Amino acid sequence: MAFCYNVYIPNDAIPTAQTKIKLADRILVSPLIVGTWAWGDKKLWGWNEELNVKAKEAFDMSLSKGINSFDTAEIYGFGESERCIARYKADHPIVGTKDIVVATKFLPFPYKLSYPSSLINALRASLDRLKVDCVDLYQIHGPVHLRPINVIANALAEAVKLGLSKTVGVSNYSITETIRMYDCLQKHDIQLASNQVEFSLLRRTPETSGLIRECHKRGIAVLGYSPLAMGRLTGVIPLGGARDGKQAEQNSGALGWRLTNEEISQLESYQINPKVSFFHRLIQHG
């Protein structure tokens, strides 16, 4: 039986392949989202044809398990990750790829000062690589922009008004930054759909700082990336990568069950809480 929840899955519910989560009252995502950072990346991940074949297996396996949501970014493989998704969709043996949900991201490097044109032009380029007219979720990759949040919010609102994205979100935003973005978008009658942050037992800051609580109060979904860093897969929407069919199948094994309260308490007793997220370490060390 299919169940649809708004923003997050409650603690007493067990997600299955039929479960869907509604973001911004506009799109439905699966309870697991496939991260595609490694797809197409030669410099960091050594992308080659063999890995391309394996990534296609991960794509097909994910869909076969009911996981229809994929997260990418313009910077992943310098656009190749987006092209991979377009190719894999076109080559998928099963009809119904129209139900696939794709989220991508805009990296607002400080030198990008002209808004909304910088963002709109980047989004159009992403749409071209993805071979779609409209993306499901368009996200700001991180708060590295020099322009104030209201300027970025106005650009995101323009993307929605132009019909280029169904919803908009942010990534790696603090509580203050998230609330500011939420308030600015509200002036356009647009709901901030999500905040994508690093969240696992190795980094529980989104939980302990109150970020998750403040997001949920405002109807903002929290997408937790790097959840397999010994991460707990409950409450937030986990976003895990898959580089081949076996990994995709293993990811799908997180559905249909949940940890007991006692097991969660035991895992939490081993947590480490570094203050700096992986995104910021990546930016700092290039």
Rounded Cα distance, 84 and 232, in Å? 29
Active site residues: 76
Structural contact between residues 167 and 199, judged by C-beta atoms closer than 8 angstroms:
no
- What are φ and ψ of residue 151, in 5° steps? -70, -45
Q: Give Cβ neighbours of residue 159 (< 8 Å, ≥ 6 apart).
A: 116, 119, 120, 123, 138, 165, 168
User: Which residue has 């949501």 as its token pair?
Assistant: 69
Rounded Cα distance, 213 and 175, in Å? 10
